[in-house]
Structure 1
Amino acid sequence: MNTENSKSRITETSIGGTVYIVESLVSDNAKETAYTKVKRLIISNSKDLIKLSETTQLLSQKDYTSAK
């Protein structure tokens, strides 16, 4: 048995009529868990998302006022 295949996991999920197939692999060299990594990425990018949200709101207001 190939050790790489035993570390692989395939998950298939259907959301809104779209099928997502995800293959995940375990790394012996990983320094953080997937949970820790995703949490860190969300926290570190949360300020950018707030800026994006504010920009989107400004653009929608501009479009709304220019349509009058």
Structure 2
Amino acid sequence: MARLLGCSPKGVYARVSRGQSPGAFRVGRPLRFRGSELLPFIAPQCLHPRARGFHARTIELFRSA
């Protein structure tokens, strides 16, 4: 998740605590994300012309699921 959002793992937790990452929820202690809510948030970033191949492939995986 940190790689998708372009931050460190600690940064992911910070974003969630500030309410900046949609689709985050906890099942007990682990942090989970709903793909249906997260995809519209990260898609514009991943489809940017400077986006690397990893992000484009990830978007395709989310869309096919």
Higher strand share: 1
Structure number, greater radius of gyration: 1
With CA pairs under 8 Å and 6+ residues apart, which has the higher RCO, 1 or 2? 2
State the TM-score, normalized to the length of structure 2.
0.24
